[in-house]
Every structure is written in structure tokens, then in C-alpha cells.
Copies of this chain bind each other. A is one copy, B any other.
Amino acid sequence: MSERILGVLGGMGPLASAQFMLRLTLLTPAQRDQDHIPAVLWSDPRIPDRTAGRLGKGPDPLPWLLRGIHGLLEAGCGAIAIPCNTAHGWFGPMAEAAGVPILHIVDAAAADLQRMGITGGTIGLMGTAATLEMRLYQDRLETQGWHCIEPDPDQMQRLVTPAIASVKANRVAEAYHPLAEVVNSLAARGADAVVLGCTEIPLAIQSGPASELAVPVVDTIDALARSAIAWARGQ
């Protein structure tokens, strides 16, 4: 029985954090309830939009993020997972306020690439405009030997950004085709794998056929769940 309680700062979006809880459960080896990982999910969809905040077009989400972290600490959580890539733009101040480990989603994605046997080469990177602009992935992955390529600005505006908004509005299936088109375009430009670096993207990609994708994808929800399970088991 795990004595470690996982904190999950979620609601960004709420479907992604619910899916994180589902995958955390299904990826945990368990025979009965008591073998699973105790967790508290703070699902606060009122947190101001991270992309708008970062691009100077909306209020700062940091006070809301810190409020969630405070709530998770009050509940006794020993580590925090945040199933929202863009929120990692505020990783520094959150980690400082938390005083317990925050499991970084980019490190989780890198571990998943290694697990898949993709130890170098070119990686396609999909995410919100803010995640790409902040270079959340590029800087961490490039020092570890991967080369990152991104969708072009037209693809971001026409395909990726509207598809992310569709998932947040519960219109998941219609987001598959635009996102699959971008995966395959990155593959055509030389990507050996594509990191789905916004937690709305894997929800949409899973709603359609995997067989239409030209290269393997890293599901950052699953990657973060694996990282959380490793923490809970003391690994």
C-alpha cells in the first residue's frame, strides 16, 4: 500500500486531467483498490488560460496555480503532477512554492522517448503557441541530443490551435483529422516521432485510427502518469 499521496494540479483542461487519473489507474499494477495510488486532483478550470497569459493577452494564471499547489500541500501530497504542458512555463515559481517535487512533464516525455527506443534524431513537437514560443521542450530535449522541429505558423493557426479549443469544448473527435495532418506533415519533414506536447492533443489523436499516423507519438498524459507511478513506488 502506497504511503505516498500524489497531488494532481488539473483542470487545464478538465478532460485531460480526468484522463490522467484514468491512465494513472490503468497503468498501475494492482489487484484491488488498496494497491492503487492515493491521489488528490485539484481540478480548477477557472485558472486563466495559460497561452493567453503567456502571450500577454490575458490575466496571469500564476496566483491560481499557486492556490492549487497550496491546496494539494494542505491535503498532504508528497509530489505534484501537472497534466498541462503550457502551465510548465511557470515551473520555477511553482517548484519554489511547493517545496515538494513537481514531476516535470518534459522530463516525462523524454523518458517516454527513451522507453520507446528513440534515443536521438529528429522529434516533431506539437503544443500550444505559448509552449512552442517558451521553448519548454526544445531547450530540454536539445541538450539531451534530440533535434526538434515544429509545425509552421500557418499549421498552428489553421489546425493545431483550433483543434485544442475543440477538445476543451468537448468536441474531441473532430479534432483528430487536423492534428493527424500535422503529425504526418512533421513526419514528412523528417521527424522520427512526434511529442504531443499539449494534453488536449492525445485525447483527440486517440479518438481516431493510430494506423493513419506515419510515426510513433508520445502521449504526454501517459508519460506523466508513468512518471507519477515511478515516484509513488519509490523508483
Contacts and interface: CB of A to CB of B under 8 A. Distances in A.
A216 interface: no
Contact of A25 (B14, B24, B34, B46): B14
Contacts of A230: none
A85 to B, nearest CB: 14
B46 A38 contact: yes
A199 to B, nearest CB: 11
A131 interface: no
Given A38-B46, A39-B43, A47-B33, A170 B74 contact: no
A169 B28 CA distance: 9
A17 to B, nearest CB: 7
Given A71-B75, A74-B75, A45 B33 contact: yes
A26 interface: yes
Contacts of A34: 45-46, 48-49
Nearest to A23: B18
The 3 residue pairs across chains A and B that have the minimum distance between CB atoms: A18-B21, A36-B45, A41-B41
